[in-house]
Amino acid sequence: MTTALSYPDYPAFLAALKDRVLQARTSAARAVNRKMILLYWDIGWGIVEKQQVSGWGDSVVERLSADLRSGFPDMRGFSVANLWRMKQLYLAYTSPEFLAQAVRELGHVPQDTPEPEFLAQVVRELVATVPWGHHVVLLGKLTDPAARLYYLRATARFGWSRNVLLHQIKAQAYERAVLEKKAHNFESALPEYLAEQADEMMKSRYNLEFLGITREVRERELEDRLAARLKQFLLELGYGFCFVGRQYRLALCEKEYFIDLLFYHRFLKSLVAFELKVGPFEPEFAGKMDFYLNLLNDTERGPGDQPSIGIILCTEKDDVEVEYALRTKQNPIGVAEYQLQPRLPAEFKGRLPTAKQLADVVRRMKDEG
């Protein structure tokens, strides 16, 4: 009897077939999703047109829902609530505000193509790459067109799951990646196209609340906790980061040096070194990181890799001080803050007692008691 063991190349043959099956299944799922989203887009457009041009009232949505469910009992998605979302989908992604943002971010319009038609087609195709459940989140959680476009593009590019998308919105990824000012020297240390990608990769502030730290800690303990919760830290860093190692050893002559956390970014094709500081930024941190990046580039950078990038994480920074510290550095370095506990809303700052004031009150109460 002939068995698989008789064929030495069978395992490789089977692995290749499995890979083909997975690719085909993924492609089929994407094709089905694209057709469904385009259908929903067209239904939303149809409802809007009939209401605006023919003067149909809102009650038509309930009638349409009942008739579609009756006509297609084996299909889901034609509830009244879902039909309203289809209308919302079309209106949200064809609004003048959203299309204006799309022009700024998606590039120029070809001269031989009418701008409205071109934009509608580009946006429609982008929307069709994202699953319906994600759109429900985007439409329900966001109102700013710029924020919607940011998360829409990120989901399409990185394949975010719905839970990841929810996490990114809750963690204010858009605000930290786009709105808040970032401190780095990428423009002077990297080619323009790579500087833009590096700027997109870095956040101005990293949310480390998941570490559960409520007291002062040493740098090694902070590093230990990040390493223990690596999956959550990678989620906070964003897509593209691959963990290389902690306390990564670099040697020069007879001395050894250690990088706190080392990653590789698949899209930038760069090593990214993180140094953790439990206090505010100091100018000497930049010199140390610059030294590490020189070593990384000379000893660890692979063929075809881009220059290594350094990120210094600290509790607070002065942007002017950072600018002066990075002005003469040849390597790309960024400085970002991290937070361990939820930030106090701006309207409450200065109105609540400090920890020391609370401790003094408790101490006086004990003395009086």
- Look at residue 138 in the predicted model and tell me its pLDDT: 95
Mean pLDDT of the chain: 84
What own/partner pairs with CB < 8 Å and gap ≥ 24 does 120-123 have?
Answer: 120/94, 123/93, 123/94, 123/98, 123/99
Q: Which of 55-69, 83-97, 145-159, 212-226 has the lowest mean pLDDT?
A: 212-226
Confidence tier at 259 by pLDDT (50, 70, 90): very high
Q: What are phi and psi of 72, to 5 degrees?
A: -130, 70
pTM exceeds 0.75, yes or no: no
Average pLDDT over residues 335-362: 60
- Kindly list the distances between the CA atom of residue 67 and the CA atoms of 37, 84, 89, in Å, as whole numbers in the listed order: 20, 15, 21
**Domains recognised in the chain with CATH numbers:** 4-170 (no CATH), 182-342 (3.40.1350.10)
Average pLDDT over residues 74-95: 92
Is 262 a residue whose pLDDT tops 90? Answer: yes
Residue 62: how many other CB atoms lie within 10 Å = 12
Cβ 244 vs Cβ 262: under 8 Å:
yes
- 1 compared with 231, residue with greater pLDDT: 231
Is 1 a residue whose pLDDT tops 50? Answer: no
Share of the chain above pLDDT 90, in %: 42
Q: What are phi and psi of 63, to 5 degrees?
A: -65, -45
Sign of the torsion formed by the C-alpha atoms of 228, 339, 152 and 163: positive
Residue 92: how many other CB atoms lie within 10 Å = 20
96-106 vs 145-158: helix crossing angle, rounded to 10? 50
Burial of 297 (0-12, 13-18, 19+ CB in 10 A): middle
- Look at residue 363 in the predicted model and tell me its pLDDT: 60
- Look at residue 349 in the predicted model and tell me its pLDDT: 47
Is 112 a residue whose pLDDT tops 70? Answer: no
- 363 compared with 307, residue with greater pLDDT: 307
- Look at residue 347 in the predicted model and tell me its pLDDT: 47
